[in-house]
Amino acid sequence: MHVTNVTTWELTPDVDNIAKAGKIDPSWSAGPNKGIVSSSVVVIAYRKGNPKNIHGWEDIVKPGVQVITPNPKTSGGARWNYLAAWGYALEKWNNDEAKAKEFLEQIFKNVPVLDTGARASTITFVERGIGDVLVTFETEVQSIGTQYGKDKVDLVIPPVSLRADFPVSIVDKVVDERGSRKIANAYLNYLYTPEAQEIIAAHFNRPIDKDVAAKHAADFAPVRLLTVEDVFGGWKKVNEEHLANGGILDQLYVNK
């Protein structure tokens, strides 16, 4: 099967954009799982020994703490990071958007370099040794331990964070042209089976299958998870208010 038969992304709007281009059925997320096959959590990684005494979101805005996170204009993972920090700030300051904006401004002031993607930020933090903390997915921190050694970083999972949902969809235009819809459907359906969800859990992503998730509950720290819909009213509002040219993100941090 060609990999282009089925596509996976970090953000639901990415799949929606492909649908707008006429390559994916607009109803791709209409099923019971809304096209989501797994999720992760935005966390804060720090260097072993925790030399900057990092225990949560508020510690990364302190003077002298360098924060590594990618550019939300170019990175899906960075958008999750941005929204997670914003969601935390709204909770802490009772939905005071001015306070949330100030909090994000303080975070960005501590960012020495904005890489274009999450993997590049990991390299900046781990291989180049830049920064005191890395804001990233829970699964990425586990991967750092596997790839670079468990002595490199540790992490704090805030008690409140944002659930990063990862969508998957058949690329209808491709499968129809190739006559491969049957095998694409089989693969897509397989991703939701307990067997596939076990593989997802083994690679440090949070499974959406409730039984598999319960089985691996001890592998993932408990955290109260916010959603884009709960906090922001959905991706449409996020794109219009935060990510559009001249939006809140641009007001916070332009051309870092």
Give pLDDT tens digits for 196-217: 999 999 999 999 999 999 999 9
Q: Quick: pLDDT tens for 11-33.
A: 999 999 999 999 999 999 998 89
Give CA–CA dist 126/32, Å, rounded: 39
Q: Quick: pLDDT tens for 58-111.
A: 999 999 999 999 999 999 999 999 999 999 999 999 999 999 999 999 999 999
Whether 99 contacts 89, CB under 8 Å: yes
The pLDDT value given to residue 31: 86
The CA-based diameter of the chain, rounded to the nearest angstrom, is 58
Give CA–CA dist 193/199, Å, rounded: 10
Nearest alpha carbon to residue 212 among 227, 196, 224, 189 = 196
Describe the crossing of helices 76-92 and 97-109 by its angle, rounded to 10 degrees: 130
**Residue 124: strand pairing partners:** none
Whether 11 contacts 167, CB under 8 Å: yes
Q: For residue 254, is pLDDT > 60?
A: no
Whether 222 contacts 40, CB under 8 Å: no
Give CA–CA dist 214/228, Å, rounded: 24
The answer for residues whose C-beta is within 8 angstroms of residue 253's C-beta and 6 or more apart is: 104, 105, 108, 111, 114
Homologous superfamily, domain 3-252? Periplasmic binding protein-like II (3.40.190.10)
**Residue 39: strand pairing partners:** 165, 206
pTM score, whole prediction: 0.92
Q: Give just the sign of the alpha carbon dihedral 55, 59, 64, 65.
A: positive
- The encoded tokens of residue 231 equal 């906090």
The answer for residues whose C-beta is within 8 angstroms of residue 20's C-beta and 6 or more apart is: 26
